[in-house]
Homo-oligomer: A and B are copies of this chain.
Amino acid sequence: MAFPKKKLQGLVAATITPMTENGEINFPVIGQYVDYLVKEQGVKNIFVNGTTGEGLSLSISERRQVAEEWVRQGKNKLDQVVIHVGALNLKESQELAQHAAEIGADGIAVIAPFFFKSQNKDALISFLREVAAAAPALPFYYYHIPSLTGVKSKSVRAEELLDGIQDKIPSFQGLKFSDTDLLDFGQCVDQNHQRQFALLFGVDEQLLSALVLGATGAVGSTYNYLGKKTNQMLEAFEQKDLASALSYQFRIQRFINYVIKLGFGVSQTKAIMTLVSGIPMGPPRLPLQKATQEFTANAEAKLKSLNFLSFPGLKDGNMEACS
């Protein structure tokens, strides 16, 4: 087969795994979730079982089922469904990669191991290659999050990994870059002359800073509920309307900056998405704990004040209304 069949670009929502109140996976709402992303947020790519999806808090069996359901529900509706198959142990990661291929996913993504950490670039590539080899026909994305996977504050730089990577991992198709080191990110783009790779930025609150450096898309949790606003930013940037793009970015920043101060993580993302989409995301699984009602009330008030709450069927928040 030839890569890439179609390039992953634009916004990619890092999907939440909806759960019932007793902590089991709430499969029935996934179809509704797909429709919401496509129709209300204009987001047609997803990243399943990643950090936001609590992938590493699910059993292997659950990860398989979740992946299957998203692929099934996304059929003919979504452009691409990428499954995160990273795990601490190679065998299960390989099993998940093979499974992703079997169910017809559009790609797999892998995080570097972070209990035992790769001591150098070669060790990391060896690990990634073994996973990729379990699903050689699937586009492979590396999920770069150095704050987690670094070896004693020294992590493998993405730009070094990228150098000659397709000789080692033929299915390599790009990366999710979840870091603020834009020297490293820039040098990834600089290398990517033929634009063969998807270089997806993963720090939602400063996406504009990566767009200007050549990001080809973005993966993040906020695109679940701020996808439409972020798409407006992407369009403004595309049209070189930097003032508008910045105005969108600042509005998004105001929200994220606010919730970070309240304590912001996957639990809180679940509460916000429930609020904005109306689809129940449920509580997170231990060791995470449910967002407090106080958090949810504060987040709701902030969303309203920023004109970010628009329910299905209602007209979207109006830019002019914002200072």
Chain A interface (Cβ < 8 Å from any Cβ of B): 51, 54, 56-60, 62, 88-92, 95, 112-119, 122-124, 126-127, 130, 148, 152-154, 159, 180-183, 186-187, 189-190, 205-206, 208-214, 240, 242, 245-246, 249-250, 253-254, 256-257, 260, 263, 265-266, 284-289
CB <8 Å contact, A91 and B62: yes
Cβ of A87 to closest chain B Cβ, rounded Å: 9
Cβ of A230 to closest chain B Cβ, rounded Å: 14
Instruction: Tell me the nearest residue of chain B to A204, going by C-beta.
Output: B183
Could you give 19 example pairs across A and B, Cβ below 8 Å?
A: A56-B115, A57-B88, A59-B89, A112-B287, A117-B287, A118-B287, A119-B287, A119-B288, A123-B289, A126-B287, A152-B153, A159-B257, A180-B180, A182-B205, A186-B205, A186-B206, A186-B250, A206-B213, A209-B209
Instruction: Tell me the nearest residue of chain B to A250, going by C-beta.
Output: B190
CB <8 Å contact, A116 and B253: no
CB <8 Å contact, A116 and B256: no
Give chain A's interface secondary structure class.
helix
Known contacts A123-B286, A289-B123; is-contact A246 B214 (Cβ 8 Å): yes
